[in-house]
Structures are given as C-alpha cells and as structure tokens.
C-alpha cells in the first residue's frame, strides 16, 4: 500500500479503547505492507521513559519523548500509532506542532464506562486512594477540542471506530486503500 509518514495519536481515558483500536489498525496496515511502528503508553513507560512519575511535569516529559520518537519515524515515512492517555491538551498541541503530519484520534468513552472495563483495577485503586493523581479521578483529562477523528467507543462497534480512522487517513492522503 502506498503511504506517507504520519503520527496517529490515540488519546483518551484509561480503558477507553485506545490500544484495542490501534492494535487492529496496526495489523491491517502491516498486512497491507506499510512501514509501521506502534508506541503504546504502557510499554513506552517501562522502556523509554522509565523513572518518570505521574506529576504534570513528568507526564509532559513522557509525551515529549514519545513525540520526539514519533517525529523521527514520521519524517522517515513511517506510520506511527501512538496510544497514550496524554491528558493535557497543551502538550498534545506542542507535539502536533513539532511533528506536523499528525492525526489526533479522541477515543471517547465516559468515565463510568472506562471504570466498568478496568481489567487492571486501577480506577478502583485510585478511588480507594491507593493511586494518587490518576487521570479522570483526581487528575484532569482535557479532551481534544478539534480532533481529526472521534471514536465513541461506548456508542459504536470496534469496526466503526477503525473505519473512521482508516477513512480519515485515506481522506488526508496518508494511505491509499
């Protein structure tokens, strides 16, 4: 498949469906022969940003580092799928400005739905006070104001979300299906 470099940034609360959507898209793009890299927030935190905590400053630095790697890959013709909560709007906009070829995907599900899906028990621990500064509980999540794509994972099927993202990448000329 013909394609050009782009960073597709999946943002949303923990449990909203970012990783699920990006994994299926990654599989489809890989099968189509695209040069592709997946940067999942949880995996990045154990490698690239190990040692960073969850203060606003550390979260911003985490996103800057993910953004830096994404920028390098994107400018070399790679499709980069980033799946990271990235709760603060200003740092997402900063990274967008640096990368240029950037498609923001807001994976939107209400907090109550994300809590129902919480297989790791993180929300429960946050509500019990065991985890401080948890996004959506005692730390804010600033939703994108103008994302290129919004996936309402509480209202649409997985396939609808995937088609929205793939359709937008095609519409913007990053991939040719």
Active site residues: 86
Token duo for residue 95 = 């990274």
As a whole number of Å, the end-to-end CA separation of the chain is: 7
For residue 152, list its beta bridge partners: 108
**Calculated CA dihedral for residues 28, 154, 151, 142, nearest 10 degrees:** -130
Packed helices 18-31 and 158-171: angle between N→C axes, nearest 10 degrees:
60
Q: Are the C-beta atoms of 92 and 144 separated by less than 8 Å?
A: yes
């Amino acid at each position: 498949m013909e394609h050009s470099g782009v960073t597709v940034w999946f943002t949303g609360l923990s449990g909203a469906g970012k990783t699920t959507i990006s994994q299926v898209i990654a599989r489809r793009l890989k099968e189509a022969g695209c040069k592709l890299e997946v940067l999942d927030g949880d995996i990045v935190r154990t490698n690239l940003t190990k040692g960073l905590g969850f203060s606003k400053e550390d979260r911003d630095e985490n996103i800057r580092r993910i953004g830096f790697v994404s920028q390098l890959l994107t400018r070399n013709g790679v499709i980069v799928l980033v799946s990271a909560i990235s709760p603060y709007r200003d740092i997402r906009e900063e990274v967008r400005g640096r990368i240029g070829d950037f498609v923001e995907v807001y994976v939107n599900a209400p907090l109550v739905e994300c809590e129902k899906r919480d297989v790791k028990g993180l929300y429960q621990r946050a509500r019990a006070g065991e985890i401080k500064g948890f996004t959506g509980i005692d730390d804010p999540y600033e939703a994108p104001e103008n994302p290129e794509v919004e996936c309402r994972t509480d209202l649409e099927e997985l396939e609808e979300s995937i088609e929205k993202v793939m359709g937008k990448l095609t519409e913007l000329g990053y991939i040719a299906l």
